[in-house]
Amino acid sequence: MQDTSFAIHPGKEKKLKDQTFHDIGNLKQFIQRDQVFAFQTEKAYVNVIFYRDDIVRVVMNPHQEPELNNSFAVEQGPDSVDVKVDEQEDMLVLSSEHVKVQVCKEPFRINVLDTKGYSLVSDATQGMGFNNDGHVICFKKAYQDDHYYGFGEKTGFLDKRGEKYTMWNSDVYAPHNPETDPLYESIPFFMTLRRGRATGIFFDNTFKTTFNMKVEQSETYSFEAEGGQLDYYVCAGPSPKEVLEQYTALTGRMPLPPKWGLGYHQSRYSYKTDAEVRELVQNFVDKEIPVDAIHLDIHYMNGYRVFTFDQNRFPDPKKLIMDMKEKGIRAVPIVDPGVKVDAEYSIYQEGITNDLFCKYLEGNIFFGDVWPGKSAFPDFTKESTRKWWGESHKFYTELGIEGIWNDMNEPAVFNETKTMDVDVMHDNDGNPKTHRELHNVYGYLMGEATYNGMKELLDQKRPFLLTRAGYAGVQKYAAVWTGDNRSFWEHLEMAIPMCLNLGVSGVAYSGPDVGGFAHDTNGELLTRWTQFGTFTPFFRNHSAIEFVYQEPWQFGEKYEAIIKKYIQLRYKWLPHIYKLFKEASETGVPVMRPLFMEYPDDEETYQLSDQFLIGSNVIIAPVLRPGVKDRIVYLPKGIWHDYWTGETYEGGQRIIAHAELDHLPIYVKSGAILPEANVKPSTAHDVDEMTIHIYPSENGALYELYDDDGETFNYQQKEYFTLELNVKQSSDAVLIDSKVSHQQYKPKWKEIAYKIHGVSSKDTIIYNGENISDVKVQEGYVSFKKAW
């Protein structure tokens, strides 16, 4: 081609990508249209909208007035907020009760401050801009003591200062190491913590986005997208928990999962036959190891056709599922998006006949190779596809299935780019957009279709959904597991900050494959990992084909006994864990929390990647290395009790926890109240003994025990139970007030065994005004029983 004009093709020059940054320039015009403050600068259009008096949205579009109703994650429009406008010579100041937005005129810059004038989020010397390739970017000032958290599912440690991340849902089987990025989820949200003050930024853009938090030299961080609008929300805090409340007010909260979703789950790629599953179930029953669900990986299907069972391997799935249910165990089948090309397969036929698959602009269907071979992919951006896909789950619900596992929904495709062709044109309900733009919401929309379909079909029962891929707001539909980790100690260690940052990103319900997916695990690793899993919101042991089996009993009795003890411990803690899930579903504050969330003023907590909190007052400090029997634990200010021995520690220091293989270090803070159930084979068996542990504090202790049927939505019709506890401590007495405050559901337990820790027989115990004299005195605590 050297001898034609092609040699001087202008495109050649373009290959040197034009990354020139165009600043949007000075303010030219400002008008207010109802809630919208609309600015026109020399080169762009900017809208500022108060969603609440503590949430501000900024949208910049280089070409036209911003589009405002374009979010996949945010379902609600703005509240009506009282905003004062003060026009000064060099800036406009928009103030609500909680924040002030300074809009500087020349050059156009935006600074968000709190009412005291403390800067929350401020444009840097460079502000908003774009380049000729359609990228949009924003530079913000970084401060020396900024710490950054969130960004969804990322490798590395807790604090993301100094990191750079990309959002592009990716199937990564290769070992996840500190520079493996991106992974399966795209959650373009992060929280800044600066000397105890927290703010959040949600960059709501579904294109590939990049967050550059390498702030050290530039004192600037930036977020950038390959296309679309620069559309972000500032959540003004001021505490980390308030940021979570604000962010999940925008993107939605996790619905309360069924209790069985919180029990122990056992998985394997794959349990391949009816006989194998039955034997597995029988093993759990015989060994008296609690289990709530068995996951069925791809081998259950007929030639990997979704919505089918292989007739030879699983001749009577309905019977299998019924027999399992009789033992209180559910089955969770995997469902991938790829639909096998097969003219005689009804799902494929329906997809073709009703035009439900992803297509190119020219009208030809996109085909890609996945497990079933050549496959088509449902276009979940289309309402009719979501409805069809949801309804198709009738196949599963008719067999008695109540939970679904979505995998490969990045979507993963076996080709060079590992995903769908970015030129595919999604229907997007009549507003067509390329896969390049909508890639990151493919799994999210599959989740929406699946969750809503299951909810409809299950007739008032709560569905369980597990997903690998997602976008901001994925918590509305699914729990997230962290994909293909490996049986490495390093991956056990990495799972803590990964799940903590998922929690900071609105995903309260997450967990890694316990034991590790790929690579051969071993007894010690599985034991330590199970101890950690006991306290991750989602608790599933899963392993890959070709590697050793890793069910609790695979490494001999010594390990089996300890693993069993910890799975049982999960069931003992379920009433508390369930209560924390209820809270997360209402406030967005995660179940598993980084310590800074409770101690935002304590800088010692800012980088703690190897220990975490369950709720507000229980520290879990797993052992993360082979052969290690001692580890350092940081205890923030307060009095802490060793959960196992009752020994107390003054906080504000590091202690060395001794942890033999059967020991997971757990510390409970004075002021905690923790319910404990008796162990049952699964959550299908009602708890009938309730113990309440009280760790009195001079500052008092409050708890609301919550319970409901655990599987329907009746709690939304007030069918639940609450018991309020209010405990006070003086120098020689503990006063307990216990009152059933709501009782439209009746738990099966009739009485409560109270265990009061850190007191002696000399202390007077007063329960609802009555002096309790017949207390049992044990080592470290006294106990008595009462009917509720």
**Are the C-beta atoms of residues 621 and 643 closer than 8 Å to each other?**
no
Q: Does 298 bind ligand MIG (CB under 6 A)?
A: yes
* CB contact set of 762 (below 8 Å; sequence gap of 6+): 732
Q: Does 512 bind ligand MIG (CB under 6 A)?
A: no
Q: What is the closest distance, in whole angstroms, from the C-beta atom of residue 484 to ligand MIG in the complex? A: 5
Q: Does 310 bind ligand MIG (CB under 6 A)?
A: no
Q: Which is nearer to ligand MIG, 207 or 300 (CB)?
A: 300
> Taking the chain, what is the end-to-end CA distance rounded to the nearest angstrom?
88
Q: What is the closest distance, in whole angstroms, from the C-beta atom of residue 544 to ligand MIG in the complex? A: 6
**Are the C-beta atoms of residues 51 and 236 closer than 8 Å to each other?**
no
Among all residues, whose Cβ is closest to ligand MIG?
269
Q: What is the closest distance, in whole angstroms, from the C-beta atom of residue 508 to ligand MIG in the complex? A: 21
* CA distance linking residue 416 with residue 251, whole number of Å: 33
Please report how many Cα atoms fall inside a 13 Å half-sphere around the Cα of residue 266, on the Cβ side: 26
* CB contact set of 608 (below 8 Å; sequence gap of 6+): 158, 594, 595, 596, 634
- Known catalytic residues are 407, 410, 484
**Are the C-beta atoms of residues 457 and 394 closer than 8 Å to each other?**
yes
Site string for ligand MIG, 235-254 (x = CB under 6 A): --------------------
Q: What is the closest distance, in whole angstroms, from the C-beta atom of residue 513 to ligand MIG in the complex? A: 7
**Are the C-beta atoms of residues 671 and 699 closer than 8 Å to each other?**
yes
Q: Which is nearer to ligand MIG, 466 or 734 (CB)?
A: 466
Helix (H, G, I), strand (E, B) or coil at 575: helix
Cα-based distances in Å from 783 to 569, 573, 644, 752, 776: 20, 19, 16, 10, 5
Token representation of residue 36? 């919208």
* CA distance linking residue 183 with residue 160, whole number of Å: 16
Counting residues that bind ligand MIG (by CB under 6 A) gives: 12
Token representation of residue 447? 């989740």
Q: Which is nearer to ligand MIG, 300 or 471 (CB)?
A: 300
* CA distance linking residue 270 with residue 285, whole number of Å: 20
Q: Does 204 bind ligand MIG (CB under 6 A)?
A: no
* CA distance linking residue 618 with residue 608, whole number of Å: 15
Q: Beta strand 373-376 with 339-340: parallel, antiparallel or unpaired?
A: antiparallel
Q: Which is nearer to ligand MIG, 414 or 788 (CB)?
A: 414
Which of 157, 207, 233, 269 touches ligand MIG (CB under 6 A)? 269
Q: What is the closest distance, in whole angstroms, from the C-beta atom of residue 405 to ligand MIG in the complex? A: 8
The helix (H) or strand (E) run that includes residue 523 is helix 523-533
Q: Which is nearer to ligand MIG, 407 or 448 (CB)?
A: 407
Q: Which is nearer to ligand MIG, 267 or 568 (CB)?
A: 267
Q: What is the closest distance, in whole angstroms, from the C-beta atom of residue 495 to ligand MIG in the complex? A: 14
Which of 23, 153, 292, 297 touches ligand MIG (CB under 6 A)? 297
Q: What is the closest distance, in whole angstroms, from the C-beta atom of residue 361 to ligand MIG in the complex? A: 30
Among residues 306, 261, 281, the alpha carbon closest in space to that of 407 is found at 306
Q: Beta strand 265-266 with 540-541: parallel, antiparallel or unpaired?
A: parallel
Cα-based distances in Å from 707 to 65, 739, 756: 50, 14, 22
Which parts of 325-354 interact with ligand MIG (CB under 6 A)?
A: 334
Helical ranges in 80-131 per DSSP H: none
Q: What is the closest distance, in whole angstroms, from the C-beta atom of residue 335 to ligand MIG in the complex? A: 10
Q: Which is nearer to ligand MIG, 483 or 497 (CB)?
A: 483
Q: Is the peptide bond before 333 cis (omega within 30 degrees of 0)?
A: no
Q: Which is nearer to ligand MIG, 233 or 271 (CB)?
A: 271
Q: What is the closest distance, in whole angstroms, from the C-beta atom of residue 173 to ligand MIG in the complex? A: 6
Q: Does 483 bind ligand MIG (CB under 6 A)?
A: yes
Q: Which is nearer to ligand MIG, 297 or 583 (CB)?
A: 297
Q: Which is nearer to ligand MIG, 233 or 269 (CB)?
A: 269
Query: Token match 């003591």: residue?
Result: 145
**Are the C-beta atoms of residues 318 and 399 closer than 8 Å to each other?**
yes
* CA distance linking residue 736 with residue 727, whole number of Å: 5
Q: Does 538 bind ligand MIG (CB under 6 A)?
A: no
Which parts of 387-416 interact with ligand MIG (CB under 6 A)?
A: 407-408
Helical ranges in 354-403 per DSSP H: 383-392, 394-397
Q: What is the closest distance, in whole angstroms, from the C-beta atom of residue 10 to ligand MIG in the complex? A: 43
Helix (H, G, I), strand (E, B) or coil at 566: helix
Q: Does 484 bind ligand MIG (CB under 6 A)?
A: yes
Q: What residues line the site for ligand MIG (CB under 6 A)?
A: 173, 269, 297-298, 334, 407-408, 468, 483-484, 517, 542
